[in-house]
Structure 1
Amino acid sequence: MPSAPLAGRVVLVTGVSRRRGIGHAVARRLGGMGAGLFVTHHRAHDEAQPWGADDLSAVLGSLREAAPRVADLAADLADPGAPEAVVEAAVAAYGHVDALVCVHARSGSDGPLSALDPAWLDAHWQVDARSTLLLTRHFAAQHDGRPGGRVVWFGSGQHLGPMPSEVAYTAAKGALIGALPTVAAELAERGILLNAVNPGPVDTGHLPPKEDFPGFDVAFPLGRYGAPDDAARLVAWLVSDEGAWMAGQHLSTEGGFRRG
């Protein structure tokens, strides 16, 4: 593979707000492959989470160390107009976007079926499914058919086993991944390859120490949680020309993680 296989291409990556996050790892790796980056972030979401918000100037500074060019936009993807505005801003910055990677997700506002609130279902649908579908729609509308058209969605392994107390989240992600073959077939006709990644359990600052995880050695045969760059390497392959024969697939990168 060339040292800069994405040189001359532009990638839009959502959910890039924390240096420990998957979105940052994906953007930094793609930038290191020569891609110009347009990234989104939503600091208010992180401020409401136990792990807190990161310094956005440091996040963007880290990306600029790797990428030839970086532009960014704060965006609340629960807003139905935000996906179109994000794509329009990326096109205004670069003229064209070659690839879209949707890493963003909503955290919190969830629970077991017995406590399920209709507002939780709506909130997760808006961010985890609807915004990704609309981002994909508007990305595809601006794509002119040139080589390298790619879209990568993110699942969460919701189809592989239970995720206790995350009914709203798994419902939204399940709906998104259920639409994958249909949307991938439509995009393939336009020269855009859509695939999805399940990153498995990734340590982005919210997982317990392995000493506090009963059965850790059985669940994680490689002796560690996933790292953000584990998922980023798979995304990089899909976005590069090496992934040119992949379409409509939901790929897991879990290091042999065993459920149950």
Structure 2
Amino acid sequence: MSSPLPLDGRVALVTGASRRSAIGAAVVRRLVADGAAVVVHAWEPADGDRVDAGGAEQLVEELRAEGGRLVHVSADLAEPDAPARLVAHAVEAFGRLDVLVANHARSARQSLEELTAAEVDLTYAVNTRATLLLVQAFARERDTGRGGRVVLFTSGQYHGVMPDELPYIASKAALRELTPTLAAHLAGRGITVNCVNPGPNDTGHHDAAAWAWVAERNPGGRASTPQDAARLVGWLVSDEADWVTGQVIASDGGWSTLGA
């Protein structure tokens, strides 16, 4: 009898899951609930004082106690060899890798006047270079298989200006533009590549007043949540989304329709 869980027998790597209230952790929870074994990547130093007590390790322990199959890997994605090491670790831990969710991000707040070459280089290294190298390592591992899934994450820079976050939006815009090309290149190997814009997402970065401002203006009547993004990812990596590739999809309750 086949399993009722859509991802039973699949293995996923989810990057950037050090905070249990944020998108990466929500994606991990969803994929585990759908039956996947999950390699949980985190790099807690990048979160500074915003990191949760226990970090990704506590998330892994919690889900293991509920019957999930997970391992935690800590890696600095600014290091050029880190993406390949993460993919290799997933294969070593579970024997295969079917799903890559590149959720990690370095968020750097610099305006044009504040811009430094060092920050541009570091942000591109983490957000853009590491993501490309993750996709490369994933595709190499799945060169003889089918049914691979890649989900990238962009931001809302293509719907409205973000002048105080230039390194971040430049690196995230690159991922949006890379999505259709990567999808076309990998389609013949049975790998889909899609990109999620999670909208203005309440992951604990701002105060209640900021989210009230978003809720008043969003057609959906509220800010996005990590669970909203996780539901979309869960569908994109399932068999139901086999014919969906090269797409940038906003999970934002209509925020993007405002051009804001």
The TM-score, its normalising length taken from structure 1, stands at 0.92
User: Residue 41 in 1 paired to residue 42 in 2?
Assistant: yes
State the shift of 1:226 in Å. 1.0
Equivalent residue, structure 2, for 1:168 = 167
Q: Which amino acid aligns with 1:96?
A: R
1:148 offset after TM fit, Å? 2.4
Amino acid at match of 1:23: G
Amino acid at match of 1:239: V
1:131 corresponds to:
130
Q: Secondary structure at the match of 1:146?
A: coil
Q: 1:247 aligns with which of 228, 245, 248?
A: 245
Deviation of residue 222 (structure 1)? 2.9
Return the letter of the residue paired with 1:120: E
In 2, Cα distance between the equivalents of 1:98 and 1:241?
A: 12
Contact 1:34 / 1:67 at 8 angstroms: preserved in 2?
no
Aligned-pair distance for 1:216? Answer: 3.7
Aligned pair 1:93/2:103, yes or no?
Answer: no
Q: What secondary structure sits across from 1:61 in the alignment?
A: helix
Residues 215, 88 of structure 1: alpha-carbon distance in 2 compared, 3 angstrom cutoff? closer
Q: CA deviation at 1:27?
A: 0.8
3-state SS in 2 of match to 1:138: helix
Q: Is the 8 A contact 2:146 2:190 kept in 1?
A: yes
Q: CA offsets, 1:121-171, max 9 Å, x none?
A: 101100110000000000100114434210000001111111231000001
Identify the residue that residue 233 of structure 1 maps to in structure 2: 231
Question: 1:221 maps to what in 2?
Answer: 219
- Between the aligned partners of 2:16 and 2:170, the Cα distance in structure 1 is 20
Partners of 1:22 and 1:157 in 2: CA distance: 15
What SS class does the counterpart of residue 104 from structure 1 fall into? coil
- The match for 2:142 is 143
With the length of structure 2 as denominator, give the TM-score of the two structures: 0.92
- Does the residue aligned with 2:189 lie in a helix, a strand or coil? coil
In structure 2, relative to structure 1, the CA distance for the partners of 1:217 and 1:182 (3 Å cut) is: closer
Aligned-CA RMSD value: 1.9
Report deviation, 1:115: 1.3
Post-superposition offset of 1:240: 0.3
8 Å Cα contact 1:28/1:66 also seen in 2: no
Distance 1:234 1:147 in 2: 21
Q: Corresponding residue for 2:198?
A: 199
Indicate how the Cα distance of structure 1 residues 213 and 60 shifts in structure 2: closer, same or farther if over 3 A, else same.
closer
Q: Does structure 1 conserve the Cα–Cα contact (< 8 Å) formed by 2:211 and 2:223?
A: no
Q: Aligned to 1:187, what secondary structure does the other structure show?
A: helix
Do the aligned partners of residues 164 and 65 (structure 1) sit closer, same or farther apart at CA in structure 2, a change above 3 Å counting? farther
Structure 1, unpaired ranges of 5+: none
Is 2:107 the counterpart of 1:107?
yes
Shift of 1:208: 2.2
Unaligned runs of 5+ in 2: none
Percent identity reads 45
2:113 is paired with a residue whose SS is helix
One-letter amino acid of the counterpart of residue 160, structure 1:
H
Q: Deviations over 1:178-225 (max 9, x none)?
A: 12111111111111000000000111111221x356744442233321
| 1:116 counterpart = 2:115 | yes
Q: Distance in 2 between matches of 1:183 and 1:88?
A: 21
CA contact (8 A) 1:19 1:54 kept: no
